[in-house]
């Protein structure tokens, strides 16, 4: 699954950006509050408007403080998947239940420096695990292959039946790096500048999908 990140799109033309990637599986929306990460992007009103402007499922990645309070509102606004950071959550399991009760899939995100092992049990409450392959906060960073062992570990637990999850990677995903992530076990790929920086964003989505499928088939 390919989830283009509108962080790399023109914020004045988000509806047009969504229209330019019609075969995407999800549309990734980075929400930043300038507290959890040192950047400020967009919030709930924009997500509400974007949901009304596109049929693509919205994949909201909340890089915010106090997600326990704010995350369910994104599900209520129509997001298909709402992901928040374990580093910011007071009660990750309860927040996941609240997101699901509001009608969305619940996702848990981990920064590059956060170990996965302590959260394997709580991941049973989630539908998505988002492994950051850059430090969260800004687009256009270089892919960090050193975090891929976390993806491999999660994939092992999925294969064993311990977990049932989408395994998502976000950060530096491009034609040059997507195969590494796919081989490690990821099945959802967030790509920003590799899509919206391309001359034809729709064709870029399909090219990324082809590379990921080829790597999974090996």
pLDDT grade for 140, boundaries at 50, 70 and 90:
confident
Question: What is the pLDDT, as a whole number, of residue 108?
Answer: 98
Does residue 137 have a pLDDT over 90? Answer: no
Known catalytic membership, residue 170:
yes
Question: What is the pLDDT, as a whole number, of residue 97?
Answer: 98
How many alpha carbons fall within 13 Å on the CB side of residue 134? 18
Does residue 9 have a pLDDT over 80? Answer: yes
Domains along the chain? Answer: 2-217 (3.20.20.70)
- For residue 121, what are the CA distances in angstroms to 108, 116, 211? 12, 10, 32
Residue with tokens 């704010």: 70
Mean pLDDT of 133-147: 90
Question: What is the pLDDT, as a whole number, of residue 101?
Answer: 98
Ranges assigned E (strand) in the chain: 2-4, 27-32, 58-63, 81-85, 105-110, 128-132, 166-170, 188-191
Question: What is the pLDDT, as a whole number, of residue 70?
Answer: 97
Active-site residue among 10, 25, 30, 200? 30
How far is 191 from 198, CA to CA, in rounded Å?
11
Distance of CA 71 to the CA centre of its chain: 14
Does residue 139 have a pLDDT over 80? Answer: no
pLDDT 10s digits, 74-117: 999 999 999 999 999 999 999 999 999 999 999 999 999 999 99
Report the predicted TM-score, pTM, of the whole model to 2 decimal places: 0.96
Mean pLDDT of 41-52: 96
Strand partners, 5: 28
Active-site residue among 25, 33, 127, 170? 170
- The greatest distance separating any two alpha carbons of the chain, rounded to the nearest whole angstrom, comes to 45
């Amino acid at each position: 699954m390919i989830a283009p990140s509108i962080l790399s799109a023109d914020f004045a033309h988000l509806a047009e950006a969504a229209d330019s990637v019609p075969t995407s599986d999800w549309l990734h929306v980075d929400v930043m509050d300038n507290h959890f990460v040192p950047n400020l992007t967009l919030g709930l009103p924009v997500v509400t408007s974007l949901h009304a402007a596109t049929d693509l499922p919205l994949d909201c990645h909340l890089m915010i403080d106090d997600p326990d309070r704010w995350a369910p509102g994104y599900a209520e606004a129509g997001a298909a998947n709402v992901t928040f950071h374990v580093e910011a959550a007071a009660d990750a399991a309860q927040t996941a239940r609240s997101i699901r009760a509001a009608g969305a899939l619940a996702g848990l995100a981990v920064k590059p420096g956060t170990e996965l092992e302590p959260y394997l049990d709580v991941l049973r409450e989630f539908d998505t695990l988002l492994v950051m392959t850059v430090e969260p906060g800004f687009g256009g960073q270089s892919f960090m292959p050193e975090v891929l062992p976390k993806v491999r570990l999660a994939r092992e637990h999925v294969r064993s039946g311990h977990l049932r999850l989408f395994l998502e990677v976000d950060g530096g995903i491009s034609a040059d790096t997507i195969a590494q992530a796919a081989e490690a076990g990821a099945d959802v790929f967030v790509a920003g500048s590799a899509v919206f920086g391309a001359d034809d964003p729709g064709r870029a989505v399909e090219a990324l999908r082809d590379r990921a499928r080829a790597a999974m088939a090996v």
